[in-house]
Chains A and B, each alone.
Chain A
Amino acid sequence: SYDLTQPPSVSVSPGQTASITCSGDELGDKFASWYQQKPGQSPLLVIYHDTKRPSGIPERFSGSNSGNTATLTISGTQAMDESDYYCQAWDGTTVVFGGGTKLTVL
């Protein structure tokens, strides 16, 4: 089966840049999506097709995907960005999620 690996936690200071990685075999050959999930809420799409932002998602959210790693970058991180983040890709006919990363803004 195909696996996506994320760091369990990432910490960032307010106003700094946070980077969350997602690793998988030849992930760069697939499309990566990223979801933000706050406590008690359903996931929210923040990045799709590696680099695209849905309408309403702040410009400080960006993504990249190359080789074996996709990266979600949050520039000028704000307290409201403190959440769990999940990467996701398709492997043929199955859907795969990363294990999630808890972003702490402190």
Chain B
Amino acid sequence: QVQLVESGGDLVKPGDSLRLSCAASGFLIGDYYMTWIRQVPGKGLEWLAYISISGSDIYYADSVKGRFTISRDIAKNSLFLRMNSLRADDTAVYYCARSKGGNTEFDKWGQGTLVTVSS
């Protein structure tokens, strides 16, 4: 059964760092593009970053470039998102999702993990 399970969401203070994880099962993350997408409660979807099948292509949205880092551990079949210098407007549900490649659809999403940034 194909499954993505995010974890690591928490209540943190502005300026803090946090690392999110996305554990995959039923498929190998090395066979897919893996992506992080977030959603502010009650708002729309925002793409954040993705890592290609080879791992050599990594792209970020301008809103998080320089603060967030996407990575993966093939052996653990897991995707990560390191978030630094967190701000109140980073408060959102964070989803990981897979796609077969660039310019393709996201056919499987995790359930999301909530990050709240508040003093």
A residues adjacent to B (C-beta < 8 A): 1, 30-31, 33, 35, 42-45, 48-49, 54, 86, 88, 90, 93-100
Residues of B within 8 Å of A95, CB to CB, are 35, 37, 47, 50
Rounded to whole angstroms, the CA-CA distance of A105 and B46 in the bound complex is: 26
Is the Cβ of B44 less than 8 Å from the Cβ of A86?
Answer: yes
**Contact of A45 (CB < 8 Å), options: B35, B37, B102, B106:** B106
Is the Cβ of A88 less than 8 Å from the Cβ of B104?
Answer: no
**Contact of B107 (CB < 8 Å), options: A31, A48, A90, A98:** A48
Q: Using an 8 Å CB-CB cutoff, how does the interface string of B19-59 with A read, 1 for contact, 0 for none? A: 00000000000000001010000001111001000000101
Is the Cβ of B109 less than 8 Å from the Cβ of A42?
Answer: yes
Nearest CB on A from B107, distance (A)? 5
Given contact pairs A42-B110, A97-B45, A99-B44, a sample of 6 additional A-B residue pairs in the complex whose CB atoms are under 8 Å apart: A31-B103, A31-B104, A42-B111, A42-B112, A95-B35, A95-B50
Residues of A within 8 Å of B95, CB to CB, are 42-43
Rounded to whole angstroms, the CA-CA distance of A99 and B107 in the bound complex is: 19
Is the Cβ of B45 less than 8 Å from the Cβ of A45?
Answer: no
Whether B105 sits at the interface, judged by CB under 8 Å, is yes
Taking CB as reference atom, which chain A residue is nearest B47?
A: A95
Chain A to chain B contacts (Cβ below 8 Å), 7 pairs? A31-B103, A33-B106, A42-B95, A48-B104, A49-B105, A93-B57, A97-B46
Contacts A93-B59, A93-B102, A95-B35 known; A45 to B107 CB distance under 8 Å? yes
Whether B61 sits at the interface, judged by CB under 8 Å, is yes
Residues of A within 8 Å of B106, CB to CB, are 33, 35, 43, 45, 88
